[in-house]
Amino acid sequence: MKVILAGTGAFGKKHLDGIKNIDGVEVVAVVGRRLEPTQKVADDYGVEHVFTDLDEALKLDADAVILCTPTQLHAAQSIACMEAGKHVQVEIPLADSLADAKAVLDKQAETGLTCMVGHTRRFNPSHQWMHNKITAGEVSIQQMDVQTYFFRRTNMNAAGEPRSWTDHLLWHHAAHTIDLFQYQTGEKVVKANAVQGPKHPELGIAMDMSIQLQTESGKVCTLSLSFNNDGPLGTFFRYICDNGTYIARYDDLFNGKEEQIDVSNVDVSMNGIELQDREFFAALKEGREPNSSVQQVFACYQVMHDLEKQLES
């Protein structure tokens, strides 16, 4: 299976590292904004073709595209990939507006091609372990308490390098939690509230935000987000259940007493990005809808749209 990877920044490299471990998949091209650093990534990973124009790359004989490009490009590029006859996996978030997310959903329905969104939390072994326990009826979530904390007062990416676009607490970082909350509870959010701090004078985005969510049966999620937090950094999930408390830190899991739970046998890897890619390629080979398809995650974007309207009012 031949794949094109667009976006060779921090997350593009994470996908390239994961794909190296997946049999039967070859990255035939990388696409980047600037030729010289993109060529270096191609050389480092043994990729034959290098482009600075996605449309030119789409003319190649390839089965699929993985998009790790700036958020503001995701919707239009996803649509372009499907119009070129390519399956697509687009990194989170699918879009930064409900209208753009709906346009991608409609294009997928029109073409019948696979469109998967990189909601990685569904694939982290820690959250998979919780999902298995929940679906087996062994625990029921009462509340999820989530902290998403970074120190990002300048426009830097996950590798500490200057970024050409602006990140967003609501349309990117909150998307992980809003989707995971609905996925883990198996219920839709019916009530959502948000407040935010002052907007950064140069970046134009809020640097602090607090979100409350409630599902149909009354399950609650409390989410705190900040770009002002000077460590520890990352996203930490506390599952408060009727039968135990669990704390997920990316691929690792602990109980409420901070005793680590072995999740090494949950899946074939401990790398959530690799597992996400494995699901994408497996779904293509098996001709099925992948976990985290555009259809499955769309409800998350409706919630963010509603929250944005509330914040702007």
Taking the CA atoms of the chain, what radius of gyration do you get in angstroms? 19
Position 167 scores a pLDDT of 81
Element (H, E) at 308: helix 294-312
The reply to whether 97 and 30 lie within a common domain is yes
Work out how many domains the chain is built from and give that number. 2
Q: Please give the pLDDT value at position 158.
A: 65
State percent of the chain over pLDDT 90.
91
Contact (CB, 8 A) for 258 and 247? yes
pLDDT over 90 (residue 154): no
| Residue 204 pLDDT level (bands cut at 50, 70, 90) | confident
Residues above pLDDT 70, as percent of the chain: 97
What's 95's domain CATH number?
Answer: 3.40.50.720
Torsion angles phi and psi, residue 50, rounded to 5: -130, 135
Q: Per residue in 139-150, pLDDT tens?
A: 999 999 999 999
* % helix, strand, coil for the chain, step of 5: 35, 25, 35
3, β-bridge pairs = 27, 64
**Same structural domain, 222 and 236:** yes
pLDDT, residue 222, reads 98
Q: Confidence band (pLDDT; 50, 70, 90) for 79?
A: very high
* pLDDT at position 2: 98
The chain-wide mean pLDDT, for the chain, equals: 96
Can you tell me the distance from the alpha carbon of 240 to that of 221, in angstroms, rounded to the nearest whole number? 10
Closest listed residue to residue 179, CA positions, set 227, 136, 242, 223: 223
Give the per-residue pLDDT at 155.
73
**Average pLDDT in the 224-238 region?**
94
Q: Are residues 61 and 194 in the same domain?
A: no
Segments forming the whole domain that contains residue 147: 121-267+299-312
**38 lies in the same domain as 97:** yes
Based on the fold, state whether residues 63 and 189 are members of the same structural domain. no
Give the mean model confidence (pLDDT) for residues 233-245.
Answer: 96
State residue 95's pLDDT score. Answer: 97
Averaged over 9-25, what is the pLDDT? 96
At 126, is the secondary structure helix, strand, or coil? helix
196 and 50 in a common domain: no
Question: Residue 166 — very low, low, confident or very high, per pLDDT cuts 50/70/90?
Answer: low
